[in-house]
Amino acid sequence: MLKRTLYFTKPSYLSVRNKQLVVEMDNENQAKTVPIEDIGFMVIEHMQITLSMPLISELMNNNVAIIFCNSKHHPQSMLINMEGNHQQTEIYRHQVAASEPLKKNLWKQTVVAKIENQAKVLNKLNLDSNPLPHLSRQVKSGDTDNREGMAARLYWKKLFGEDFTRERYGEWPNALLNYGYIILRAAVARALTGSGLLPSFGIFHSNRYNAFCLADDMMEPYRPFVDIAVWDICQKYPDTDTVEKEIKAEILEILSSDVAMKKQTRPLMIAITNTTASLAGCFTGTKKQIEFPGII
């Protein structure tokens, strides 16, 4: 079932009653309710929002990811359930014991899928995708020749122009890309825990200070879905260079956008679940390929 993403931007008190999220606001006499089982993500943006502990517990029981924003309205932290799968102890063992050849093979699959989706983004926008398809076919085990980096340098210039540089604190639309990637990262981390995997143990990313290395790995082929949404927003709001509330709402809709998965059209949120489930299968030996979606 496609889960809902809730976005809170006003002072309010959030609690639980009869497995329903109860939203109470100062200027409204009647509280609003939402079935918790229908929620996948909650974005808490205002500093005067209070969540009750029973609500947090119920949200975790239903594998709801909560994203907290700082005083500048930027996503800052995330709360996810760490008991999302009844077989997770067994899956943990396989994940931690994964051999280097296996991890290098999985990373190759991930890089190939990412470059292929970058090429599809350019094709969809009637931009020249060469030589990205060729680079995707050249990826070696572990991407030892860094075809990912080569493809990225070409991709960004083609997508946003020769003067654009993809940097975390770079010029617009870097801030918008950052916001989209943070939402995507939360979605992938939620799906990983739901599939019984440890988000901290990556197949490529291995920063000792990063608690979501595996999420950073698995989100790579999904980044182009954010990229094309940001490109569309830039065309829609050509004079905007800040991440406004309306734009944030459009970014959140990426999670329900259609993607191509196993010859079917599925919401991106469902595709992420399929990806993480297939990754768990690769670790346990029941699968050999990670299932990644494609740009439609």
What integer pLDDT is reported at residue 86 of this predicted model? 66
Write down the residue that tokens 């709801």 correspond to: 64
Residue 106: closest CA among 225, 268, 278, 224: 278
Of the pLDDT bands very low, low, confident and very high (cuts 50, 70, 90), residue 85 is low
Of the pLDDT bands very low, low, confident and very high (cuts 50, 70, 90), residue 84 is low
Least confident of 23-27, 104-108, 138-142, 154-158: 23-27
Whether 136 has a pLDDT exceeding 90, the answer reads yes
Is the pLDDT higher at 207 or at 282?
282
Residue 229 region by backbone torsions, left for phi larger than 0, else alpha for psi between -120 and 50, else beta: alpha
pLDDT digits (tens, 9 = 90+) for 2-59: 788 899 999 999 999 999 999 999 877 889 999 999 999 899 999 999 999 999 999 9
Domain ranges of the chain: 4-79, 88-284
Tokens of 203: 């197949």
CATH of 88-284, one of 1.10.486.10, 3.65.10.10, 1.20.120.920, 3.40.50.1950: 1.20.120.920
Least confident of 83-92, 183-192, 254-263: 83-92
Q: Which residues contact 286 (CB under 8 A, 6 or more apart)?
A: none
**What value, to the nearest 5°, has the Cα angle with vertex 139 and ends 134 and 142?**
165
pLDDT digits (tens, 9 = 90+) for 185-237: 999 999 999 899 999 999 999 887 788 899 999 999 999 999 999 999 999 99
Q: What's the rounded Cα separation, in Å, for the pair 31 and 23? A: 5
| CA 165 to each of CA 131, 160, 162, 172, 173: distance values in angstroms, whole numbers, following the listed order | 19, 9, 8, 10, 10
- Which amino acid appears at position 138 of this protein? Q
The sign of the dihedral angle between the CA atoms of 174, 176, 177, 178 is: positive
Are domains 4-79 and 88-284 of this chain identical in fold?
no
What integer pLDDT is reported at residue 77 of this predicted model? 87
Q: Describe the chain by its helix, strand, coil percentages, rounded to 5.
A: 50, 15, 35
What integer pLDDT is reported at residue 197 of this predicted model? 93
CATH of 4-79, one of 3.10.350.10, 3.40.190.10, 3.40.50.1000, 3.100.10.20: 3.100.10.20
Q: What's the rounded Cα separation, in Å, for the pair 136 and 113? A: 8
Least confident of 241-245, 264-268, 274-278: 241-245
**In the chain, pLDDT over 70 holds for what percent of residues?**
99
**Paired residues of 32 in beta bridges:** 23
